[in-house]
Amino acid sequence: MTQEIFGNNNKTPDHQGDSLQDNSTHAALSSVPSPSLLLSVLPLWFLFALLAYNVALYGDNSISGANQTALILSAAFAAAIGLVRGMAWSVIQDNVLDNIKAATPAILILLMVGALTGAWLVGGIVPSMIYYGLGIFSPSVFVASACLITAIAAVVIGSSWSTSATLGIALMSIGYAMGINPGLVAGAIVSGAYFGDKMSPLSDTTNLASGVSGVDLFTHIRYLSMTAVPSIVITLLLYTVLGWVMGGDVASVDDTARYQQLIADKFTVNPVLLLVPAAVIFLIVRKVAALPALFVGAMAGILCAVLLQQELVTELSVELGNTYQIMMQALYGDVSVVAGDPVLDDLLSTGGMYGMLNTIWLILSAMVFGGVMEACGFLGRITRALISRVRSDAGLITATGATCLVTNVSASDQYLALVVPGRMFSNAFKARGLAPQNLSRTLEDTGTVTSVLIPWNTCGAYHASVLGVATLSYAPWAFFCLLSPLMTLFFAWARIGIVRTPQTT
């Protein structure tokens, strides 16, 4: 999926130091009585109350500090409960630091995406993609096309994050120019990217879900397709209908031609520039880790600016200084190209790495909250309460999905939302005679796809920042991510495609 920057799962410790620390943490937790369910959910209720008030008060601007502060206050509240119950501060702090360490790859890739967007702007790459995209796509089918394109790309690349950072940025810009609701476009991009991510054998979450469940990778993918394919088909149909219904609200043919002319007046538009994103995708397909691949893309954008966009560089030099200063500003700070149209002026601006800092702040705050919830045993207590209510196969699958969602909300990390429920429910699935692919599919259908719908989860924060649309603005339109958990529950309760182990058949 997503944070595969260094080529392996950063949440899985593989050296002795981590094992020793895990053992010491386990010992510290075992010396404190298990918390009650009420105490365990209190920090979550406190967090939800603060976040709801922040959204009502600040709207989309709540990500600029209010939500981060809410997470820190909720973490402090949870830690205070833990300390009163006898938890050692050192144990809580170590767990928080472990969580922050695990989020480091996500932070690095966010910074690199910020640099890439700035470089691709001054290099004329994103403007060229907008220019040609306006000529190729029909507004009435654009949303469905965006979903389909990102789905195919994510299957090939194996990463929803890389797909959004390359094709997603360009598709968002084209959608803006066409006058289509940004939340709808972002929802389509996220839906396609997460379908492709789930179905790709190159995806780290696909491999993680199958590995945790103890099932062969391609058996997992084949079984997963039973719920994923109907979900994406319904999703594409919904986007097609919405495209027809909203067709009259999008930009006219004259507007499209005007936008193309304004872009051509400011940039050297050339099909050669499209080779840069193609090269980045090729590198990722060739299993080059996302971070160095995006770095190469950013440097290629700077090279294109120097070689092909001399008129733009001359224009920007009046405000930003010499060529070196312009390129540095593109990588780390605000750059705006004034095209003479409000829509394009908004599109042709970037915040570089600086523009990603609010999202990084949000991720760090979420990791603090998640670390405290884990260390104090609150997350484990909530999941045990869910398990205790299991009375049937469908109930077990429902409890697993609910645990994935709770983990995504409280721990703010998609990997934990796969690993924790996977380990916790593995024996329960075996005891009921359910084949392991039932578990792996449930983990993917509920753990992987819901992470991007939660604003403070690393996935939700990342896509909101990269696509420039608040998580809660695109979430209602991310039909695939909403349908997938419902589809797996429908299959469970209707007893469709439930595979049992050979011993029980």
Q: What is the pTM of this model?
A: 0.78
DSSP state letter for 33: P
pLDDT, mean over the chain? 85
Share of the chain above pLDDT 90, in %: 40
Highest mean pLDDT among 42-56, 161-175, 187-201: 187-201
Looking at residue 253, what is its pLDDT?
53
Contacts of 85 (CB under 8 A, 6+ apart): 32, 33, 35, 39, 376
Tokens of 170: 């360009």
Give the pLDDT mean for 158-163: 86
Q: Rounded CA gap, 195 and 229, in Å?
A: 9
* 170-197: b (≥16 Cβ within 10 Å) or e: bbbbbbbbbebbbbbbbbbbbbbbbbbb
Indicate whether 94 pLDDT > 80: yes
Looking at residue 68, what is its pLDDT?
87
Tokens of 272: 């050669």
Q: Rounded CA gap, 268 and 270, in Å?
A: 6
Residue carrying the six token digits 């409890």: 399
The angle at the Cα of 35, spanning 33 to 39, to the nearest 5 degrees, equals 155
Give the pLDDT mean for 357-370: 85
pLDDT digits (tens, 9 = 90+) for 233-255: 999 999 999 988 875 444 555 56
Three-class SS of residue 336? strand
Give the pLDDT mean for 110-138: 87
